[in-house]
Amino acid sequence: MNNKVAAIILGAGKGTRMKSDKPKVLMPVCGKSMVRHIIDTLEEIPVDDIVTVISPDGDEVKKEVAPYKTCVQAQQLGTGHAVNCAKDFLAGFDGAVLVVFGDTPLITKETFLRSAKKVEEGFAVVVLGFRPDDPARYGRLVMKDDELLKIVEFKDATDEERKINFCNSGFMAFDGRYLFKILDKIGNQNASGEFYLTDAIEVARQMHLKCAAVEGDPQEVASANTLEELALLEQYYGKRK
């Protein structure tokens, strides 16, 4: 492996739950859009490439992330499908690929680097976990020593798995050599008919690849779907500063 790092930012979401016509990733946190916070942090690493996945009407996002590349997710077919939209730009990239949700602007440079380092150590998929005060609605990370066995959604979890307080933040890092091979094997046989990025763990393990998790702070992994959650992000960011 090497020290190359690229990033895919998932930025196709709409801001409807925030009562705004703006794309969600353009909502401001302390005067700067969520996606710009992420890009500024990635530039500190620095990364070799950034690709942002946008919706068909995502021209505003395209301007905000310039001069970095964008690709269009023509249909909303799930998070796995969104990441796969960046294939034309990153196929053949053999470093770590960070997959960042555009509404999680507070993940630190140190956490990104720790995740990339895990990839360099030989893990094909690395998930950022955290321990919230109330884990109820989050997917659980099922570990065995330093290996991640699976992500199980709360509704599907056994009583034993529900006792786990190590939860999925959504952020993942991949070995670029395997990323698109893994995504190509993810199916959509589920109630929503969507391709879920979380299924990458199961697929990678079927391919005899190793998966791992790193732990982050609950405040840095916070995301915003509502105006209330956006206000919380401002609070967390203010505290950090």
Q: Supply 79's token pair.
A: 């998070």
Tens-digit pLDDT string for the chain (241 aa) = 468 999 999 999 876 667 677 899 999 999 999 999 999 999 999 999 999 999 999 999 999 999 999 999 998 899 999 999 999 999 999 999 999 999 999 999 999 999 999 999 999 999 999 999 999 889 999 999 999 999 998 888 999 999 999 999 999 999 999 999 999 999 998 888 899 999 999 999 999 999 999 999 999 999 998 999 999 999 999 998 7
State residue 217's pLDDT score.
96
Can you tell me the distance from the alpha carbon of 105 to that of 38, in angstroms, rounded to the nearest whole number? 5
CATH number of the domain residue 53 falls in = 3.90.550.10
Q: Supply 232's token pair.
A: 């919380």
State residue 1's pLDDT score.
46
Can you tell me the distance from the alpha carbon of 158 to that of 24, in angstroms, rounded to the nearest whole number? 34
State residue 193's pLDDT score.
86
Domain total for the chain?
1
| 155 CB burial (10 A radius; 0-12, 13-18, 19+) | exposed
| 92 CB burial (10 A radius; 0-12, 13-18, 19+) | exposed
CA angle at residue 130 from 128 to 136, to 5 degrees? 120
- For residue 66, give its domain range: 5-240
**Active site includes 137?**
no
State residue 21's pLDDT score.
79
Contact 2, 94 (CB under 8 A): yes
Q: What 3-state class would DSSP assign to 14?
A: strand
For the entire predicted model, the pTM comes to 0.95
State residue 15's pLDDT score.
65
| 177 CB burial (10 A radius; 0-12, 13-18, 19+) | middle
Q: Supply 2's token pair.
A: 């090497």
